Structure 1
Amino acid sequence: MAQNGDIQKILESIPATYRGPGGAIAIVKDGELAGQHVWGFASLEKRIPLTPSTIFPICSISKQMVCLILTELLADDKDKVFENALTKALHELLPENLISNKDLTVERLVGMQSGLRDYWALSVLWGAAPGDRFSIYSDAPKALKRLGDFHFAPGSQMSYCNTNFMTIGLAIEKASGKTLGGLLDSRLFKPAGMKTAALRPDTEQIPPPLVGYEGSESAGYIPYKNRIEWAGDAGIQASLEDMIAYEKYIDRAQHDENSAYRKNAQQPHYLDGRKAHYGNGLGHAEAMGMDSVGHGGALAGFKLHRRYFPEKRTSVIVMLNWEQNPWQIGGHALKNLFTPGWKEEEEEKKKGVEKVDVDWTGAYLDEEAKIAVVVTQEKPGEVVVNYDGHEDTISLKSSTEAVADDMTITFVGDGKLEINRIEDGRKFSARKLAKAPESLDIDYTGVYHSTDVDSTLDCTGTGGMLYGSFTGYLGSGPAHLMRHLGEDVWHLSCYRSLDSTAPGTWTVVFRRGEDGKTVKGVTVGCWLARGVEYVRT
């Protein structure tokens, strides 16, 4: 591994490679700071530079910290008073049809295996618009009563779900009689030496001067104002100095057999015994040939990532006030530290497939989840896949197989794909949709209602240009453009829900009546909130 002087050079080279308003990165090695670099501006408008003490919203990195508190509270609970109160609180927060399932446990909630739909995604169906207010104590309880049914059996697979941690955070407060912020401060921030870290749920109140930006260098960067309240799922704010202290704390805790972190970082599993890739707010992944544990965070205008490599006793922290992939930056730095010749190795791997083209691009449908899989090819040697609402570029291993760290796709002929979503613990087939005709033979427009999640869909437009808009307890949301993929399947594009980039793209599958000429209903879903059934009114 590179020495500290080399580490600093690597970190200082990052801004010119990954250009944006500003950022901060640090490497912690063997429990000590090995290098850090802060560049750019906290506020472009006011020309105020970023510093190591600038406070960021760390977003979903909060989840692992909440889990540390939960594990400590349960460990201290010798008479099970807190545990019983926690169970009672969960029964009060979640509807009976969900909480009565014996497999919906705290372990499944903090492992993203609950099978609950994500409220962040569902907010679109409830009529939220980007920039709307969302209150953790008034809007969130209403959301929990409108989740509908499970979209997969608890413990059978993994799907990212902020509902899990919003629920856990509220339940901890009910069960302990203390604020989550107070518990985090006394049990984590102070012991770890995180001097300015705090639970600040209201994202509209990010401490100045920090501003989050959307845009690009070519189009310009625009300040974005968030108005969402978060708590257990993403409500902590901290500086780079705080996060360096946290990484030192984690390194110490990793080597303490009795620590909450040591317990939380153990390998998670599904109900059937298969290894899972997420547990207690920590994502488990192999990177650069080593096991690593970490998490990212995102809010409109902000991207963050932290990752710890136990074998090397090395952490990386990346904090950005713009929307570049932070792990791409962190991974770039670590590759240069761990394996300086990585660029040549990657170029060597590309040889042999760099000229490969495929003949199986097009739109497919995951029949079980009712989610479209759209495969395109822009360059030889790789395909672009849109499944979970985001475009993933995947390298071709052959003319029929594409492989990434967390997904493999195999074309098996007869218009069928076999897909393995490794981190989600799910394997499934997708069939190719028949191409869309030049003129549609059915009228999809109309009003549809879902009693399951208390939402109304209004589909308008003519011919192949349709729009979908949703109304629910959060209001009447904007109209979203819809694109015909084939048969009765459409994409509905949604760049933002309240403030986050999720869910990206929804799949809309219309259901015909027995006459085959009229539409009687529609299934709407995305990876975070699947299979929501609507009936034509």
Structure 2
Amino acid sequence: MPFSTADVEAALRSVEEKYRGPAGSVAVIHQGQIWRRVWGFADMEKRIPMTSQVQLPICSISKQMVCLALEDVIRNPTPAMKARPIEPKVQLAKELVDILPQLGEIPGGRQLTLSHLHSMQSGIRDYWAMTSPLWGAKPDDPFSLTLDAPRAIQRTKSLHFEPGTETSYSNVNFYILARILEKVAGQSLGQLLTERVFIKAGMATASLCPNTAGPPHPIVGYEGDEKHGYIPAVNRIEWCGDAGIVASLEDMIAYEQWLHESWKDEGSIYRHVTQPPTFKDGSPAYYSYGLGHGEAAAKQWIGHGGALRGFRLQRLHVPAENLSAVVLFNHEGDSGSAAESIVKKLFKFDEPAGSVNTAAPEWTGSFLDEETQLLIRAKPGDAGEVAITYFGEEKAKLTSTTQAESRQLRASVDKDQIQIDRLRENKKLRGRRIDETADMPPSSDYVAIYQSADADSTFICNGTSTLMYGAFNGYLGKGPIHLMKYVGEDIFILSAPRGLDAPAPGDWTVVFHRDGDGKVVGATVGCQLARKLKFERIA
């Protein structure tokens, strides 16, 4: 269906009004027509306006472009690949074993394939979650591609689930894919992206810029909000494969137009990488080839977001409508919701009201999933909703007083048990209620030093009375102190809201373990992106 210019401009204007911030640039591409809206300042201190030509780091949107280049070299091998007497896919698979030689010693490691990497089904813990806090990095520390990243790969000593059975977002998957691609192709990732994506798509100014400390002039990313003020964000990490591309709104418009044309060809690489993904058991997955699959306004979209301290970005493609929406912010507004709001406004879509308004009191509380050793927190939300925190807070609509669902999950509560089926991750959580009424045991029970051979990390726990603190030492240094909050039954929340990458995983669950005499002898530490790491008390 065609949209009027007035409707499209109103949808874009609503993004500017709701997600004000230092600056933004947004676009709608539909049936060959293009609408743009740009506002604010690329650099507030120097008073440099934002334009549609200003380049921003597009962060994880880079992943899909790496996969397009990967599939292109399989179909059109480089001279180095042609010189070898084996098929391109076999060359790539062989290099996976070379870059992760320890796979044979890891339970489930021999099952790992390139497909598991680009579908986030590898079971490898996310290295940005591990760097801070477990490996001792401070939020503003540097992270080197040549020095630090290889050492992170060497520390992959276990998987937190069997490959192919679940999804867990892991940036390291795409770091590994990029290194494999470079080694097998005999070309740099920058050259491969330029020749096989940017030039073909007409992205005139897009490039690979792995160092986040030096984004192209004049863009500046900002932390903060209007209430507390905006300050320039400090980034000092290097990333390449999981992110690293910089592009302007004009580049992204050209990219969307290229994808729209590619969609018309059923034999195109884009059609290949957008096939509906599945898990090992055949159930539908939502992620593959660096692309998420979702729904807005009852329309199926394909796309991805991006995030770095001071930046939030999103692109959505609705193939059935020949429609794309692009949102680029140099602040930390919710770009994903902004892009979906454009689609909803264009199709004049209102979310259906829930049929149940009152949540049962059993929803309120904290629950421990024994299998993952992770905490689930639940509480009634707005009318007709419950708020569930497992990996950030998520809202679900009540379908009865004890049941709720959203596009991401189905949940139910029964007295002291909570059940959550996380549809996107193919993960079933079964939590038992934690008794939060008892006082915390003496802090001396927990104050100690704990070591994890699996994580190559040291956990130092200290504190007095009811206030506990935790810190980690690892190969990246001695990390900062983090506050710990007692939940109950030897279970704590360790808060780490800032990391090298953004957004950080946030709260970690710490479950202390006692021996038969009641002495604390160890702990399990984890978050959704890095689960079930065991620490033993050593002092």
- Counterpart CA distance in 1 for 2:233 and 2:107 is 37
Matched, 1:200 2:209: yes
Q: In the alignment, which of 448, 451, 455 is matched to residue 450 of structure 2?
A: 448
Match of 1:132, SS? Answer: coil
Alignment equivalent of 1:360, drawn from 359, 363, 366: 363
Match of 1:190 in 2: 199
Matches within 5 A, 1:138-153: 138-153=147-162
Distance 2:388 2:294 in 1: 21
Aligned match of 2:478: 476
1:330 aligns with 2:339: yes
Instruction: Measure, in 2, the Cα distance between the counterparts of 1:163 and 1:178.
Output: 20
Pick closer, same or farther for the CA change 1:411–1:470 going to 2, 3 Å: same
Q: CA deviation at 1:81?
A: 4.8
Stretch of structure 1 that moved more, 252-261 or 504-513? 252-261
In angstroms, what is the RMSD of aligned CA positions?
A: 1.6
Q: Which residue of 2 aligns with 1:392?
A: 394
Aligned-pair CA distance for 1:355: 4.5
Is the 8 Å Cα contact of residues 292 and 310 (structure 1) preserved in structure 2?
A: yes
Matches within 5 A, 1:391-470: 391-413=393-415, 415-441=416-442, 443-470=445-472
TM-score computed with the length of structure 2 as normaliser = 0.95
1:535 Cα deviation after fit: 0.5
- Alpha-carbon contact 1:204-1:227 (below 8 Å) kept: yes
1:59 aligns with 2:59: yes
Query: 1:324 offset after TM fit, Å?
Result: 1.1
- C-alpha change, 1:275 and 1:45, in structure 2 (3 Å) is same
Partner SS state of residue 349, structure 1: coil
Give the SS at the match of 1:434: coil
| Alpha carbons 2:145, 2:239 under 8 Å: kept | yes
Q: Who is 2:520 aligned against? A: 519
- The answer for the alignment partner of 1:219 in structure 2 is 228
User: 2:50 corresponds to which residue?
Assistant: 50
Q: Which stretch shifts more, 221-230 or 87-96?
A: 87-96
- 1:86 positional shift: 2.3
Q: Quick check: 521-530 or 398-407, which moved more?
A: 398-407
Equivalent residues in 2 for 1:84-233, closer than 5 Å: 84-94=90-100, 95-96=102-103, 97-98=105-106, 101-124=109-132, 125-233=134-242
- Following superposition, the deviation at residue 412 of structure 1 comes to 2.5
Q: Name the counterpart of 2:89.
A: 83
Structure 2 Cα separation of the partners of residues 492 and 296 of structure 1: 27
> One-letter code of the match for 1:85?
Q
* Matched residue type, 2:58: I
For 1:123, the aligned partner's letter is T
Shift of the alpha carbon at 1:356?
A: 4.3
The CA distance in 2 between the partners of 1:364 and 1:99, in whole Å, is 28
Structure 2 unmatched runs, 5+: none
Change (3 A) 1:309 1:191: same
Match of residue 262 from structure 2: 253
Are 1:119 and 1:147, in contact at CA under 8 Å, matched by a contact in 2? no
Alignment partner of 1:370 out of 353, 359, 373: 373
Q: Does 1:349 align with 2:350?
A: no
Distance 1:499 1:277 in 2: 23
Give the count of matched residue pairs. Answer: 527
* 1:116/1:149 contact within 8 Å kept: yes
**Secondary structure of 2:511 counterpart:** strand
Q: After superposition, what is the alpha-carbon deviation per residue over 1:464-494, rounded to whole angstroms, capped at 9, x for unaligned?
A: 2111101111011101111111101111111
Secondary structure class of the residue paired with 1:102:
helix
Contact 1:240 1:319 in 2 (8 A): yes
Q: For 2:237 and 2:440, how far apart are their aligned partners in 1?
A: 42
User: How much has 1:99 moved relative to structure 2?
Assistant: 9.5
TM-aligned CA deviation for residue 357 of structure 1: 5.3
Aligned amino acid, residue 69 of structure 2? I
CA distance, structure 2, for counterparts of residue 116 and residue 299 of structure 1: 21
State the Cα distance separating 1:4 from its structure 2 match: 2.6
Letter in 1 for 2:365: G
Superposed CA deviations along residues 192-232 of structure 1, whole A, max 9, x for unmatched, are: 00001011100111011111111111111111121110100
The whole-number CA distance in structure 2 between the counterparts of 1:139 and 1:84 is 28
Instruction: Report the 3-state secondary structure (helix = DSSP H, G, I; strand = E; otherwise coil) of the residue aligned with 1:205.
Output: coil
Is the contact made by 1:291 and 1:309 (CA closer than 8 Å) also made in structure 2?
A: yes
Percent same amino acid among aligned pairs? 44
Per the TM alignment, residue 328 of structure 1 is displaced from its structure 2 partner at its CA by 1.2
Amino acid across the alignment from 1:229 = E
Runs (4 or more) in structure 1 with deviation over 6 Å come to: none
Distance 2:362 2:252 in 1: 47
Which residue of structure 1 aligns with residue 5 of structure 2? Answer: 4
